[in-house]
Amino acid sequence: VYVAWADGVLTTSERARIHERLGRTEWLNEDARSLLQEWLDPSAPPSPSSLQALRGRILSLGPEAAGETRRSLVALGIDLARAGGSRDGPWQDAAALEALNELEAALGVVGHEAARDLLSESAAVGEVSAAAPGGPSVAALREYLDRPHGELRREVLELLGDPRFRFPHDLDAGTYRRRVVEALHVLAARGWGALAHPTAHGGGGDPVRAIAVFETLAFGDHSLLVKYGVQFGLFGGSIAQLGSERHHARYLPAVGHLELPGCYAMTETAHGSNVRELETEARYDPGADAFVIRTPHPRARKDFIGGAAEDARLATVFAQLEVDGERHGVHAFLVPLRDDSGAPLPGVHLEDCGLKEGLNGVDNGRIAFDDVRVPRENLLDRFGRVDEEGRYSSPIPSPGRRFFTMLATLVAGRISVAAASVSAAKTGLTIAVRHAVARRQFGPAGGPEVPLLHYLAHQRLLLPRLATTCALHFAVRDLATLYGETAGHRTDPARTVEVEARAAALKAWGSEHCVATLQACREACGGQGYLAANRFGRLMADTDVFTTFEGANAVLLQLVAKALLSEYREEMGDLKLWDVVRYVADRAQTRIAELNPVVTRRTDEEHLRDPDFQAAAFRYREERLVSSAARRLKSLIDDGADSFEAMNVCQDHLLALGRAHAERLTVEAFHGAAAHAPDVALSETLRSLSDLHALSRLEADRGWFLEAGYFEAPKARAVRAVVNGLCGEVSESALALVDAFGIPDDVLEAPVATGSAE
C-alpha cells in the first residue's frame, strides 16, 4: 500500500488490478479486505502522516531487513507481519505467496528496487578513482606530453604561478594593460622574447622553443599571451623574416628585450582576410629618398592592431608600394608611431579600439597615416627593394608570389594559435573533469548520489573532447617540429606549402575545437562554471577570437583545400586552378580504391580499434573529397562558370575537405604518438584515447561515411557502441590524464577544480 500511494497517485488501472487480485485472495478475512479497500479509496487518499507512519513501521525492521528481505516487497511484507507478532499466517501457503507476488507485479514495480528504496539502501554504483589500478602513470604521461623542451615548459609554468602573472577579474582595462606590460618585461628579461630571432643578433635561433613558450603561456592569462605573440612573434618576426641583416642588427636586440615595443599593422578596417587588397599607400619619393605612407580614406586605416593604442613605438606597416608610378603590391615598412615620451609623431593618428569581448589587457588600436615620411631603408626589403637610384627590384618577379611569400611570416603565428588552443582546451577539461569526479547528483533508488562522470551523457560531453585535445596536442607538436626543420631554410617549395597548409588546417580545427570544448566544459560545470573565479568566462571570451585572427577559419580551410587540389604546388592564383583541377579530376577516376564490402560491413571491436582501419577511413574521405571537388570544379568551368563562382558553388565542399585534412593529420599524429610511447602501459592508455578520438570523429561524420557507402548501417551502430564503451574505459583514467597536462593549481586557479572552493 505504501508503494502504491508513495509513488504518485494510484491510477485507475492499478486499482482495478489490485481489486481483482483481492477478490481472488481467499486467505484474507473480511476485516482485512475492507481495511484495504479503505486504504485504496481514490476519493479519500491516506493522510501524509498515516503514509509516513506506514513507512516508519517498515523502516523499524531495521537491520533485520537485510539479506533475503531485499529481494522483493513480498518478502518485506512477510517480515513486517512477523515483526508485528504474527508468527504464522496464511502467507506461509504457496498459493498466497504467489498471489502476493502477482500483486507486486500488478503494481508495476521492480520489487528489489522498491524494497531498497524503502530501506534507503544503496545500489552498487562504480566510483571514479584518481588512480585506477593498472592505469597510466601521471608522471610518465606528463613527461611524454611535455616533449620536447619539457624543462622550458616547467620554467614557464613556475613563473605563471607568480602573483605578477595573475590578474584579478575586476581590474579596470587601464590597470590590466599596465600589469600585462610589466609581466611581459619579466618574460623578456628571461630571454624568452628573442628565442626565435637569429643567433647573430642575440636571439635563440629556435622558433620551436618560442612556440613552446607560447603554448605554455596559454595556460595563464591570454592578454599576456597575445602581447607576447604580437611583440616578439609578429613584430619581431616580421623584422627577422622580411628584413635584411641591417634591420636585424639595428632592431632585433631592442625588440627582444622589449626596449622597443612595436606592433604588426596589417589588417585594415575594410580589409581583413583579403590582405592583398590593402589600401594603405607607400609611395617612393626620389627627391627625399623616402617613402610617403598614406591612409587614402578612413576605412583604409589600420585596425585592431595589438599594441597600437598605448605601447607601440614602431610599427611594421603593410602598404601598397608605388615606385615611379608603378605599383608593386603589398610590402612591409617600419614606421615610427610615438616618440620616447609616448606622444604620437606628426601625421600619425592613433585611436583606441575600446572594450572588447575579451583580451582587454591588450591595447588594440587604429592607425591612420597622413603622408608620413620614412627613410628608404625602412622598407623591409628581403623580398623587394628600392635602390639608391630609385629602382625597384625583387628576387621574386611575380607580385602574387611575392605577396604570398611575405605572408608566410604568418605560419609561426598560426602554429602558435593552434598550440594555444590546445592549452586552453586542456585548462577547461582539467577543471571540468575534476568537477565531474567530485560533484555528485542523483543516483539509484535509495542509494547515495553518484559522480557526474559516471553518467554516459557527461562522459560523452567531455571524454571525446579530451581525446581530441590529446590528438591535436600531438598533431600540433609534430607540425612545430616540422616547421623547425624547414623554417629559414631553402627547402623544397612543396614542403613549404605543405607546412603552410598544415598550419592553416590545425589553426582552424584547433581553434574551433577549443571554442566548442570550453563551451561544453562550462556547461558541464553548471552554475559553478559560470562564476568568474572558475575561469571559463574570461577563457571563453579570450579564445573566441582565435577563430578569427591569424586568418579567419573559413578562409584558412579554403587555403588548405586549394593546396590539396594543387598537391602542394607553389602558391598560385585562381587563374591556374583550371589547369590543376583538370589534372586532379582526370587522375581521380583511377585513384580511389574500390570499396571492399568485407570492410564496410565489419563491425567487430578489434576491427574498429585497428589503427589501419581508422587511418584508411580518414584517408579515404580526404581523397574522395579532393577528387570529387576537382570533378565538380572541372565540370562547372567546362560549363562556362567563372572560376570565382565555381569555387563559391563548391565552398561547403572545400571547407569539408579542409576539415577532413585536419582530422586526418590529427588521427595520424595520435596513432604515431601511441605507437612510439616509451612504455607499454602508456602506449595502452594512449591507444584507448586515440581510439576514442578516431571513432568519435567517425561517428560525428557518419552521415558522410554512410552516404559514401564506406559504412553500412550496422557498422555505424557498432561505432557508436564502441564509443560508448571507450567512454567508460577512459572515464577510469580521465583524472590521471588531466593531471598529466601538468597545470599547477596556482596557475589553474579555478576553486571548483583545485579544491579551494568554499
357 lies in the binding site for a second copy (CB under 8 A): yes
> What gap in Å lies between CA 699 and CA 613, rounded to an integer?
14
- C-alpha distances in Å from residue 349, one per residue of 199, 234, 294, 295: 36, 22, 11, 10
Question: Pick from 223, 319, 224, 328: which is nearest to 265 by CA?
Answer: 319
Applying CB under 8 A, among 1, 61, 97, 123 the residue interacting with a second copy is 123
d(CA 666, CA 690): 10
As given in the structure block, the three cell numbers for residue 279 are 589600401
286 counts as binding a second copy under rule CB under 8 A: no
Cell digits of residue 656: 569539408
Evaluate the CA torsion angle 24, 29, 31, 35 in order and state its sign.
Answer: negative
Of positions 32, 125, 288, 675, contacts a second copy by CB under 8 A: 125
Given its phi and psi angles, is residue 202 left (phi above 0), alpha (psi -120 to 50 degrees) or beta? Answer: left
Q: Are 431 and 465 in contact, with CB atoms under 8 Å apart?
A: no
Site stretch for a second copy (CB under 8 A), options 204-212, 272-280, 416-424, 734-742: 272-280
CA–CA distance, 141 with 474 (Å, rounded to integer): 13
Binders in 579-608 for a second copy, by CB under 8 A: 579-580, 582
Of 195, 235, 197, 200, nearest to 214 by C-alpha is: 195
Least Å distance between CB 577 and a second copy? 8
Q: Minimum CB separation from a second copy for residue 443, in Å?
A: 7
What part of residues 250-269 is at the interface with a second copy (CB under 8 A)?
A: 267
Nearer to a second copy by Cβ, of 107 and 503: the residue is 107
User: Taking the complex as a whole, how short is the minimal distance between the CB of residue 707 and a second copy, in angstroms?
Assistant: 5
Q: Which of 22, 110, 131, 616 binds a second copy (CB under 8 A)?
A: 110
Separation in Å, CA 520 to CA 358, 439, 691: 19, 16, 21
By CB under 8 A, tell whether 391 contacts a second copy.
yes
Exactly one of 30, 43, 48, 94 binds a second copy (CB under 8 A); that residue is 48
Q: Which residues, other chains included, contact 409 with Cβ-Cβ below 8 Å and sequence gap of 6+?
A: 237, 238, 241, 242
Q: Per-residue contact track with a second copy, 165 to 204, x per CB under 8 A? A: ----xx-xx-------------------------------
Options 548, 600, 603, 683; binder of a second copy; rule CB under 8 A: 548
CB of 442 to a second copy, least distance (A): 5
> How far is C-alpha 410 from the geometric centre of its chain's CA atoms?
21
Q: Which stretch binds a second copy (CB under 8 A): 30-38, 135-143, 449-457, 665-673?
A: 449-457
**431 touches 748 (CB < 8 A):** yes
* Piece of the chain touching a second copy by CB under 8 A; list 40-48, 209-217, 255-263, 738-746: 40-48
Interface residue with a second copy among 93, 717, 745, 756 (CB under 8 A) is: 717
Q: Which is nearer to a second copy, 114 or 187 (CB)?
A: 114
* Nearer to a second copy among residue 194 and residue 497 (C-beta): 497
CA 691 to chain centre: 18
- Interface mask (CB under 8 A) for a second copy, residues 665-704, using x and -? ------------------------------------xxx-
Strand residues in 223-279 grouped as ranges (E): 262-265
Q: Is 532 in the site for a second copy (CB under 8 A)?
A: yes
* 499 scored as a contact of a second copy (CB under 8 A): no
Side chain identity, residue 738: V
Which of 527, 589, 639, 755 touches a second copy by CB under 8 A?
527
Strands 314-323 and 262-265: parallel
Subset of residues 69 to 108 that bind a second copy, contact rule: CB under 8 A = 107-108
384 in Cβ contact with 394 (< 8 Å): yes
Residue 668 Cβ vs a second copy, minimum distance, rounded to whole Å? 24
Query: Nearer to a second copy by C-beta: 46 or 220?
Result: 46
Q: How far is the CB of 681 from a second copy (least distance, A)?
A: 29
Residue 327 bridge partners (DSSP): 322
CA pair distance 296, 228, nearest whole angstrom: 31
Helix (H) or strand (E) holding 329: strand 326-336
Among 143, 206, 279, 449, binds a second copy (CB under 8 A): 449
- Does the protein bind a second copy through residue 36 (CB under 8 A)? no
- Residue 400 in the binding site for a second copy (CB under 8 A): yes
574 binds a second copy (CB under 8 A): yes
